[in-house]
Amino acid sequence: MLELTPERFAALARSAPWRWDHLTFTVWWPGRAPAVRAWTSRRGALRVETPDGRPLLVSAGPRPPRSDGMAPAPGRFPRRPPARYRDGEGTSPTWGGDSDRGDPVSHHPPELDEDGLVRRRPPLGRGDLDAPMYQDYRWVAMLDPVELADGTDPDTGGWAPATAVRGLAVVEHHGRTAWEAVLTPTGDYDPRCSCCPLLFSPESERIEAEAGAPPPDRGPGFRHAEAHRVRLDVATGVCVFTEEIGGSDPGPRHDLRIEEVDVPPRTTSRRPR
């Protein structure tokens, strides 16, 4: 078994787009939203339903350009384009996976480390590797949690560590092996969307404020979490669990149970035993 290190944890967080193609899962947001069950494909297909099978969203893909008002507010994220875009490397950033460049996952292999995990991702537009979105970009981020590994230096636009990593452990999550860590966002944390980050924090709120978002309406004495407990599914790289530690509202933020990986879509109507 690989020794779990902060570097390997970050590499797994970068690796999700190359570790699964089809995914069936159930996800909960404890105390915040009802559970849903979903089947998704990186090619653009997505089915979301209630736990008893009532469809909430069905999309066969490929995805057309968005026209439903869900596009991000200009300037919100990233804070400024990473240097690789400004210097003419790669393509211009795109949002929400609306690119018409075919399959960037297979056409643009990443740089791997000796363990087969992603050391460096290919120079693609932000959003080109996204799986289909449901409701908000936190859904996209939990399926590709690269924001836990790579941040953006706001001064240079270059890469910088997104989090400080401690408390590493190999755990079991709904019967599957996961890597757990306690993370603290750095000043370079750059979430997929600052209004719905995996790690709600002063850093994510600062990006929102810089983009002109109105101040949040909170009671007096509000405190952000001191840190965040996070789990990544080892086989897929998906972020299957987040929990706020300390602060005014500690507790789990999402809990995802993977049911099937790379199984054809005919299984979406089958109830888990």
- pLDDT tens figures, 6-58: 999 999 999 999 999 999 999 999 998 999 999 999 888 999 999 999 999 99
- Full set of structural domains in the chain with CATH: 6-65+110-214+223-260 (2.50.20)
Write out pLDDT tens, residues 237-261.
999 999 999 999 999 999 999 999 9
d(CA 189, CA 145): 12
d(CA 159, CA 188): 9
Going by pLDDT thresholds of 50, 70 and 90, the confidence category of residue 125 is confident
Taken in order 192, 68, 206, 155, is the CA torsion positive or negative? positive
d(CA 39, CA 156): 39
* Phi, psi angles (nearest 5°) of residue 13: -65, -25
Q: Which of 83-87, 124-128, 223-227 has the highest average model confidence (pLDDT)?
A: 223-227
Query: Do 120 and 113 contact (CB within 8 A), yes or no?
Result: no
CB atoms within 10 A of CB 115: 13
Over 80: is that where the pLDDT of 72 sits?
Answer: no
Q: Which residue has the tokens 């990233």?
A: 78
- What Å distances lie between residue 202 and 95, 137, 192, 211, 269, CA to CA? 24, 18, 15, 14, 41
Q: What's the pLDDT at 218?
A: 85
d(CA 77, CA 93): 10
- The tokens for 194 are 């600052």
Q: Which residues does residue 166 pair with via DSSP β-bridges, in sequence order?
A: 182
Residue 211's Cβ-count burial label (10 Å; 0-12, 13-18, 19+) is: middle
Write out pLDDT tens, residues 183-205.
999 999 999 999 999 999 999 99
